[in-house]
Structure 1
Amino acid sequence: MAASNLESSYVEEGSFATNLNESKEATNVYQEAAVYLEEGIDNDKFDTHPKTQEQYKAFRRCHNHVYYITEVLTPFCLMLLALVEEPAAIMGLPFGIYGIFEVLFMGVLITLMVIRGKWLGWKKLFRQRRTIVKTVLIIGLLIDAFVEMGTSAHHYRYLRALRPLLLFDAYYLAGLRRITRDIFYSLIPILDMLILVMFFLLIFSLFGFLLFSNIEGDQYFQTFKSSFVQMFVLLTTSNHPDVMTVEYDVKPWSALFFDIFLLIGLYLLLNLFLAVVYSTFGDHEKNKFMKLYLHKRAALMKAFNLIVKEKNGVMKYNQFKELMKYFKPRMNHVEIVCCCKVLDQDGTGSIQLSQFLDLFLFCDMRWVHMKKGREHGRWYDMPRCPVVLSKCGKVVGRVVEHKYFHFLVGFVLLLNLAALIFEASYTTDPTGQSARFDSVDDLFLALYCLELVLKMFGLGPQGYFRDVWNWFDMVIVIVSLVGQIADDNLTSFVFLRPLRLIRLFALRKRYRDVLFTLWVVMPRMSHMLMLLANIYYFFAIIGMEVFANRITKGIFNNETDSYLTTYYNGEKTGRYHDINFNNILRSYQTLFVLTVVNNWFIIMDAYALVCGELARAYFMIFYLVILVIVTIVVSFVLDAFLSIDSEQKQADESQKSVTSKKYNVTLNTEDLLRSPSSNPEDNLFTYVGKRRRTKDDLSLTLYKDDIPRWIEDYEAVIKSSGTVSISMSQMKRLSTAIKGEEERVGKNPDPDT
């Protein structure tokens, strides 16, 4: 690997490992190397690396779980104040009390910033843009809170809608921060497409006004403003075909106008919008992964060269163990030995730099000891097991692993599905069990219990519980048995019966892979959901300030607006008055209704009638923001599934799991005790290491052909600079150069050119 050319001794000037006496130097070298590794994982800049013991202590004060939890809980509690704040409080508090809590939470955030400043230094701290934004926001919120308490009267507090921004600096929410940054970096092409969509809307709104404003009985195109509003709603298809019925009745050819609009706007422009966002987001995702990958590589090189002083030197086990004591203090001796063994691919008993660069792939492995003869968890392979039981266990094991057994289980599940549908079709009480269906359900439950016993007997406990689906089966069966034994008419357990049918997904490998790939991308999707929740909070606060208590039951009548009376009269279907902004919880539900866009224009029309036509801007802007977010979510899912599909093909070829990384390591007594053994071939121990497959693993597979070029260009830059890392400006130039090279190769794929 080209990295071997860079195995040079490198210790930064002024690092605290070189400024101490010899008695403490060794310990502090490992501490500093561990800090480099943490900076690599956390994507922290190396210019914030602690240079003295005081800075190292400050570094540790703001890099611990107490600090991390506090910086998440404090903004979250601040956001929860919306439950008790006027003008839309769920629980009433004496006026100004929530202002005191707000000031206290701000004090905690300021304290956290002071602790961080002692580590970074105030100049470096306020060079960060997110720190400047956070400071300005805290000052603004404090002034707002003091004004609220001082005047003893509520005033419009739109600034509290920005409280979610305080979450973006939290360590545990780094994924949320990265997703948001990706969106901002992709904003220019997104805005270009939005401008194109708005231009398209304006053109067709003008045509609609000119063509249909003189039609008698029309209420949609009488003015250009109403024409624009209706065409905007039509783009979401919520008012189709109502918007065209009058025109279509008078002028049948007018249907062509609306059809062309939907074909171009809905099926062409919005899909083109998705393509542009996917392309831009994918390019930035690749660029971001390259930077993170090279940053981690630089951190590993710094840590290795700090410990190994010799040129072309290797890291011994004792050095690796001491390093892991500070980097992963919860790792025990066996886990450290296994990690060292899997890195030491050539079996020399030491780790080279090229091997050490894979540390992040193995340091989070969970190692499990597989006893000899029990690699598959078979209890009947034990030496003391009776012969008869051993033979029976082997026969049952072969039966439950046979494909026809799985077909039989699937057939039983399908019969159960048919029985449930039949029962639901002919029973009047869906929460109860009629007598004629009791025996049928008991029969299926008995079959599931028999399957559980056979699998447990044939696979052994370890083999059975290794499969997630077996865990699911056992929980459903046990809870169903409890409900059956406790009370035959216990309705709280009825809902579990359809859950058994989820096991149908376990029958085909493709179904299992789809569910498992969703599990793999779930962490990234959770970041998108958090971002969406924060956007909801912003619009909910604005909505409560403007629209709180403006919509009540029966607010409309036939004299004011017969159209809205149908939906807001409070009777039967006309209960739209509950979809309002009267508190934070109802606001979230209202925003979700607007996100679905079905009949969203009814809510917009109601608030426009009560609060003025300018209220429509709020709902339209919210729709455009959600359109961007949902499009980015679709782009991300598409990119993730393309990565997973590539990984799946390789997994199918090599018979590896797509959902986890798994490695086997064989150790002997000498490895475990770190002392010579009289017979190294005896007393062999097998350990299996496993961890969840992450998005980074998928990216490594997707960009495996590009990584060597990244490393080559990166090493060329650091050779010219004489360091093991490069500055952010150099990284940006490197990224631009690599992107230009990719575009050039794409235009001219001839390898000889």
Structure 2
Amino acid sequence: RFLRQILQSVPPILEVLGILLFILIIFSTLGFYFFSPNQADPYFRSFQQGFVSLYVLLTTANFPDVMMPAYTKSRWSAAFFIAFLAINLYFLMNLMLAVVFVVFSDIEKDKFRKLLVHKRRACQYAFRLLVTRSQPTHVPFRHFRGLLKFFRPRASERDAYLVFKALNRSKSGFLCLSEFYNIYEMCGFKWRPYQSPDPWFNDFPDPLRGCFYLIRRLVTWKWFDFFVYAIIILNAATLLMKTIFVSASGVPVSHDLRVTWDQVAFVTFYGVEAILKMVGLGYKQYFHSGWNIYDFSITVLSIAGIIAEKFSSSFFYIVILRPLRLLRLFKMRKRYRDVFQTLVILTPRIISAIVVIIITYYFFAVIGMELFSDYDMKNCCVNTTVEQFYKDDNTTVYVDYYYLNNFDNIFIAGVTLFELTVVNNWFIIMEGYAAVTNDWARLYFMLFYLVMMVVMSVVVAFILEAFTFRMEYNQTVKGDKDGDEENVCINVGLTKEELRFVYSSAADTPTLQQYARALETQGIVQYEGKRRRTRVVLQRRMYRDEIPGWLLEADREHEDSPGLPTPRSFSRRWTEPADISTPSASAHETPQQTPPSYYGTLNLNSSTESQRNEV
């Protein structure tokens, strides 16, 4: 999918690259006529050599070396190179990134629109297959359950009924088309009995419960977090000062990283903090937070490192993990939290980008092995400008080891290609292989740089688009208390009759017995549905003003299609259920297949009401 997006971004990139190539040819021609009379200038002796020199200059790898021979003859020659870099590097290269960014953003938005319309069309087809002649505009639960056996075969009877009830906002016992449109979103929820927000120690005896309550108030106090942050900063300052002293003393690191009292004090504090939070919040709520899991892991590793250091100095490297706790300071500011949240949301797509880069590396590595694996680069390139970089003898003061950058196997070739990607002194590798083979070898390296420039531009544009989207989303939901939550939650209540209907085929009764107390006190059993706030969820919220227009346009395009239930009454209001009267019970064929009446109500907590409206 990511590769397809790269290919979709290629046409506008080719236009910018065409302009870039045209200007490169113009400057190569001018450079040949300006600087070739200077016999001391090795960069413009021919048009081809001038083109290669300016191509490398585009990456700044040979600057200012490429300018200095001409600069010694005339100070005005600097204007040529300044103009070239200003036009190509600072204007056209950034223009290409901007073009890729705009194209990539449009592709993402159009992909979301097409996916939304495609899902809507699929819902219309499915709805047509589920209705009956007696009820041509509504779907009963029995038919809906049959659909889920194919769409979500692992969904239990309870989950199917909870999804059905969550969809049925009109509480009629039947789904109309506008309610059925939300099936994709509702089927993404994972259901479990609602956990009471009361503390885990609420049933303890009064003196013990009071102590736990004080601990809970302490760890949830905002100044407690600030105090922990201050200790982390103090720990970082102590570690930094100790590192400076160790580096200045010249003592081997492995001998100086012994356990000291300050290390024990800080690790003890972090351990006490973790224990207090687990006692005050409960282990379930404590480990529900990713930051707490991270802190707990670092604390356990630090304790293990201190214990291991007492027995063997070979474990000193574990103590070095302590600076990783500084990452917790990023939790202080919302902008930093947005960075981590965006990173988590984009992790699957980042993996896709990495896979595309690896495939590109593999493709060029195989070609490089076929072309250059037979050449020994040690002490090569005699009487060339890069000879000194490949020497392996006593004739030079410094050995640059560039002969190690070869294509002997797939892994070494990958390292060599990565060095070419970084573009620092990449032309030395290119000129080395051009010297041992022929001038056409440069084409391989120049083509690789061009391809990687396009791929990396798309990757950078992808990251920029993601963070820009996140910032725009934050501006859109500014003031909404649920806009920054990690999960989307929904609560659905089941009555005693509904529980009996859901668990009618259960082999045992303990499942029903555990709800007895909730039924006695509240009359219903609450279930909580939860799903991740994915990018699709954010896009629904971001484009909520444009979505009705997209869907209305799609319905107009397909309203003449045969067999599609797209009445205007449904297409005009895509979020709100139609105002229908409660159908008669005759639509259900047998009492066993008839769901109970909705004695309970569909309750959404306040933190998810706006999310449900957008769905």
The normalised TM-score by structure 2 is 0.83
- Post-superposition offset of 1:326: 2.2
1:695 is the counterpart of 2:517: no
1:379 is the counterpart of 2:200: yes
SS of 1:237's equivalent? coil
Give the corresponding residue for 2:228: 409
1:467 is the counterpart of 2:293: no
SS of 1:664's equivalent? strand
Alpha-carbon deviations, 1:385-425, whole Å to 9, x = none?
02122222222222212221111111111111111111211
Aligned residues: 541
1:672 is the counterpart of 2:495: no
Give the corresponding residue for 1:339: 163
Q: Within 2, Cα distance between the matches of 1:652 and 1:399?
A: 30
Q: Within 1, Cα distance between the matches of 2:232 and 2:64?
A: 43
Alpha-carbon deviations, 1:451-500, whole Å to 9, x = none?
10111111112221121100111111112212222333322412311212
Q: Within 2, Cα distance between the matches of 1:335 and 1:647?
A: 31
Give the corresponding residue for 1:421: 240
Q: Within 2, Cα distance between the matches of 1:498 and 1:352?
A: 57
Give the corresponding residue for 1:524: 349
Give the corresponding residue for 2:302: 480
Give the corresponding residue for 2:70: 247
Match for 1:365: what amino acid?
F
Give the corresponding residue for 1:712: 552
- Post-superposition offset of 1:658: 4.7
Q: Within 2, Cα distance between the matches of 1:700 and 1:653?
A: 17
* Aligned pairs (5 A) from 1:151-166: none
RMSD: 2.5
Distance 1:213 1:341, change over 3 A: same
Match for 2:488: what amino acid?
K
Alpha-carbon deviations, 1:670-729, whole Å to 9, x = none?
333327999797353333322222232233233322221221121112222224399xxx
SS of 2:560's equivalent? helix
Alpha-carbon deviations, 1:512-560, whole Å to 9, x = none?
221111111121222222111111121111111111131343334xx43
Alignment match of 1:314 (pick from 134, 138, 161)? 138
Give the corresponding residue for 1:642: 468
Q: Which has the higher helix share?
A: 1
- Does structure 2 retain, via aligned residues, the 8 Å contact 1:648–1:658? no
SS of 2:407's equivalent? coil
* Aligned pairs (5 A) from 1:291-330: 291-310=114-133, 312-330=136-154
- Does structure 2 retain, via aligned residues, the 8 Å contact 1:555–1:568? yes
Give the corresponding residue for 1:596: 422
SS of 1:612's equivalent? coil
Give the corresponding residue for 2:359: 534
Alpha-carbon deviations, 1:130-174, whole Å to 9, x = none?
xxxxxxxxxxxxxxxxxxxxxxxxxxxxxxxxxxxxxxxxxxxxx
Q: Within 1, Cα distance between the matches of 2:374 and 2:166?
A: 64
Match for 1:674: what amino acid?
F
Match for 2:421: what amino acid?
T
Distance 1:642 1:342, change over 3 A: farther
My pick for the range that moved more, 613-622 or 478-487, is 478-487
- Post-superposition offset of 1:226: 1.0
SS of 2:153's equivalent? coil
SS of 1:351's equivalent? coil
Distance 1:433 1:631, change over 3 A: same
* Aligned pairs (5 A) from 1:29-68: none
1:269 is the counterpart of 2:92: yes
Match for 2:402: what amino acid?
Y
SS of 2:528's equivalent? strand
Distance 1:721 1:434, change over 3 A: closer
- Post-superposition offset of 1:652: 4.7
SS of 1:291's equivalent? helix
My pick for the range that moved more, 519-528 or 700-709, is 700-709
Give the corresponding residue for 1:356: 180
Long gaps (5+) in structure 2: 505-511, 567-615
Match for 1:672: what amino acid?
L
Q: Within 2, Cα distance between the matches of 1:637 and 1:570?
A: 46
Match for 1:352: what amino acid?
C
Distance 1:330 1:508, change over 3 A: same
Alpha-carbon deviations, 1:648-677, whole Å to 9, x = none?
345552222354322233333333332799
Alpha-carbon deviations, 1:335-368, whole Å to 9, x = none?
3233223222233333222112111112122223
1:661 is the counterpart of 2:488: yes
Alignment match of 1:578 (pick from 369, 383, 404)? 404
SS of 2:479's equivalent? helix
- Does structure 2 retain, via aligned residues, the 8 Å contact 1:278–1:632? yes
Give the corresponding residue for 1:632: 458
- Does structure 1 retain, via aligned residues, the 8 Å contact 2:379–2:390? no
Q: Within 1, Cα distance between the matches of 2:474 and 2:393?
A: 53
Q: Within 2, Cα distance between the matches of 1:493 and 1:434?
A: 10
- Does structure 2 retain, via aligned residues, the 8 Å contact 1:209–1:224? yes
* Aligned pairs (5 A) from 1:129-278: 178-278=1-101
Match for 1:229: what amino acid?
V
My pick for the range that moved more, 357-366 or 312-321, is 312-321
- Post-superposition offset of 1:193: 0.8
Q: Within 1, Cα distance between the matches of 2:255 and 2:221?
A: 37
- Does structure 2 retain, via aligned residues, the 8 Å contact 1:201–1:228? yes
- Post-superposition offset of 1:324: 1.7
- Post-superposition offset of 1:309: 2.2
Q: Within 2, Cα distance between the matches of 1:544 and 1:434?
A: 44
Q: Within 2, Cα distance between the matches of 1:251 and 1:303?
A: 77
Alignment match of 2:328 (pick from 500, 503, 516)? 503
1:370 is the counterpart of 2:191: no
Match for 1:654: what amino acid?
D
Match for 2:361: what amino acid?
Y
- Does structure 2 retain, via aligned residues, the 8 Å contact 1:718–1:725? no
Distance 1:278 1:513, change over 3 A: closer
- Does structure 2 retain, via aligned residues, the 8 Å contact 1:424–1:430? no
Distance 1:367 1:263, change over 3 A: same
- Post-superposition offset of 1:250: 2.1
SS of 1:616's equivalent? helix
1:686 is the counterpart of 2:526: yes
Alignment match of 1:617 (pick from 414, 436, 443)? 443
The normalised TM-score by structure 1 is 0.68
Q: Within 1, Cα distance between the matches of 2:156 and 2:540?
A: 28
- Post-superposition offset of 1:433: 4.5
Distance 1:562 1:509, change over 3 A: closer
The sequence identity of aligned pairs, in percent, is: 38
Match for 2:168: what amino acid?
D
Match for 1:345: what amino acid?
R
